[in-house]
Each structure stands twice: as structure tokens, then as C-alpha cells.
């Protein structure tokens, strides 16, 4: 019986290392992503249920989400800056596309929607 438990622990350890490596690979892709949809797609990788109790896997997922949140905030600020530089004729179309991108923020980045709208309101007041 001890051999089975030893094998199971090794399998879980190997699966945890594989998940952490996948999260590390996603981090580089997130930093190079140039759209919010891409950042969200790269962030929403499922953690296997067998790793729910593994702290290293949780930390890797948490680090990935934090990095994705920072990158998404950078992209939102860039979008607002581009809106400020856009010509008056194209500004409304650009605003609609931005709001559509923000509406698609779901899952681990859903809390950025109100943050983005607050940034937009402060931009509108400054204009």
C-alpha cells in the first residue's frame, strides 16, 4: 500500500511542476500580448482539481493573474491615451470599441471593468 501512496505523491508533484511551468510560459506571452482579449485568454488556464491543495500551484496561478492584471491595466491606460489623441471624427467609434473590449473582461479580470470606467470618467472630466 505504501508504494501506491508514494507513486500518487510523485504524480501530484510532477503535475504541480508541469502546471507551474505552464504558468511561467504564459507570463511571457501575457507581457507580449497587445489586446485585452489576448490577455484574458492567456490568463484563464484552469488549474487541475487535484492541485487545489498545492500551495505552489496556487502561488503560480496567483502570480499569473497578478501579472495579467498589471498588463491589462497598462493596455486600458494606452487605450484611453489613444482616445485622447484620436481625431474628433473617429473618437466616438474608438470609444465604442473600447467599451466593447472592457465588456469582455470576465473571469479573473472582471474586477477591472469598474476600474476602467473610473479611468474613463476621469479622462472625460479632464477633457
Is pLDDT of 1 > 60?
A: no
Domain total in the chain? 1
DSSP one-letter string for the chain:
-HHHHHHHHHHHHHHHHHHHHHHHHHHHHHHH--SHHHHHHHH-PPPPGGGTT-HHHHHHHHHHHHHHHHHHHHHHHHHHHHHHHS-HHHHHHHHHHHHHHHHT--GGGTTHHHHHHHHHHHHHHH-
53 has a pLDDT exceeding 90: no
Range of the domain at 20: 2-126
Confidence of residue 9 (pLDDT cuts 50, 70, 90): confident
pTM (two decimals): 0.86
Amino acid at each position: 500500500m505504501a508504494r501506491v501512496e508514494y507513486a500518487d505523491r510523485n504524480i501530484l508533484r510532477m503535475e504541480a511542476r508541469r502546471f507551474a511551468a505552464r504558468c511561467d510560459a504564459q507570463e511571457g506571452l501575457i507581457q507580449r500580448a497587445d489586446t485585452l482579449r489576448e490577455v484574458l485568454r492567456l490568463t484563464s488556464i484552469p488549474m487541475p482539481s487535484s492541485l487545489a491543495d498545492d500551495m505552489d500551484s496556487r502561488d503560480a496561478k496567483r502570480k499569473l493573474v497578478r501579472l495579467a492584471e498589471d498588463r491589462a491595466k497598462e493596455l486600458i491606460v494606452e487605450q484611453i491615451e489613444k482616445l485622447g489623441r484620436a481625431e474628433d471624427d473617429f473618437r466616438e467609434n474608438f470609444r465604442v470599441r473600447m467599451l466593447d473590449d472592457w465588456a469582455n473582461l470576465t473571469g479573473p479580470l472582471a474586477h477591472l471593468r469598474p476600474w476602467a470606467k473610473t479611468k474613463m470618467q476621469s479622462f472625460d472630466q479632464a477633457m
